[in-house]
Amino acid sequence: MLELEPNVPNVGGLMYPVLVWDDREAVLVDAGLPGQGDRILELVSKEGVQPERLTKIIITHHDMDHIGSLAQITALAGSRQQELKVEVLSHEIEKPYIQGELMPIKFTPEMLEQLKKQLAELPQEHQKEFQAMFAANKPKVTGTVSHKLELQCCGGMTVIHTPGHTPGHICIYLKKFKTLIAGDALNADSGELMGPNPQHTYDMAKAKQSLTALADFDIQRILCYHGGVVAGDLNSKIKELSF
């Protein structure tokens, strides 16, 4: 779990992209806010994994705090390795949103106004920097993954389609580690597992219903993008949260 501090005001708390690797592949799950590419690769290096070893980036969903530095990371990692290209994977539904072909699904005119206001409050040079970051952020999804697909790397990674937070949201189950990478389907607060956050969830009923799909997996640990790691009797806790 990488510990990524936000680089803009008003985005509360640490974010936790996940890095999984074996002797052949290195997989990053989720890619921070815009302008965090260097920092993320620095954190990858700190784990003893050379950034040029990255083979896949899996995106759980298209929210800006998960795709912000995707283009920058693929450019940085790609330019360091000559033949190997970094694969970028997401659920098919998320692809056009990630690639900027569709407006983020949870964007409302009010949010756009609020963003503009926040941007206007930043010092001028920061404003320019921020706009340039957004303009440069043109991520490409190179492959799509679907429910129950198993990626044969890092001890087996199973894709679980968990619509709700966004329609194409996915979680990843790491078979070898009995660990669930939850994205934003679940949250954590001081080591306690919390359900989907109603404030940021597109379809709350679906998000809760999606949690029932997790019952098929023996989950000993959950890594939440917001809130970090939770351990314990998680299958029964997840069941509770699905009602």
Residues that bind Zn ion (CB under 5 A): 63, 65, 184
Between CA 240 and CA 49 the distance in angstroms is: 37
**Which of 21, 59 has the CB closer to Zn ion?**
59
**Which of 17, 37 has the CB closer to Zn ion?**
17
Q: Provide, rounded to whole angstroms, the least separation between the CB of residue 21 and Zn ion.
A: 23
**Which of 174, 186 has the CB closer to Zn ion?**
186
Q: Provide, rounded to whole angstroms, the least separation between the CB of residue 230 and Zn ion.
A: 16
Between CA 100 and CA 83 the distance in angstroms is: 27
Q: Provide, rounded to whole angstroms, the least separation between the CB of residue 225 and Zn ion.
A: 5
Structure tokens at 25: 């592949």
Q: Is 66 helix (H, G, I), strand (E, B) or coil?
A: helix
User: Under 8 Å CB-to-CB from 114, ≥6 apart: which residues?
Assistant: none
Structure tokens at 86: 């970094």
Nearest-10 Cα torsion for 163, 65, 103, 199? 60
Structure tokens at 63: 């929210």
**Which of 60, 179 has the CB closer to Zn ion?**
60
Q: Provide, rounded to whole angstroms, the least separation between the CB of residue 85 and Zn ion.
A: 26
State the residue for tokens 């340039």. Answer: 132
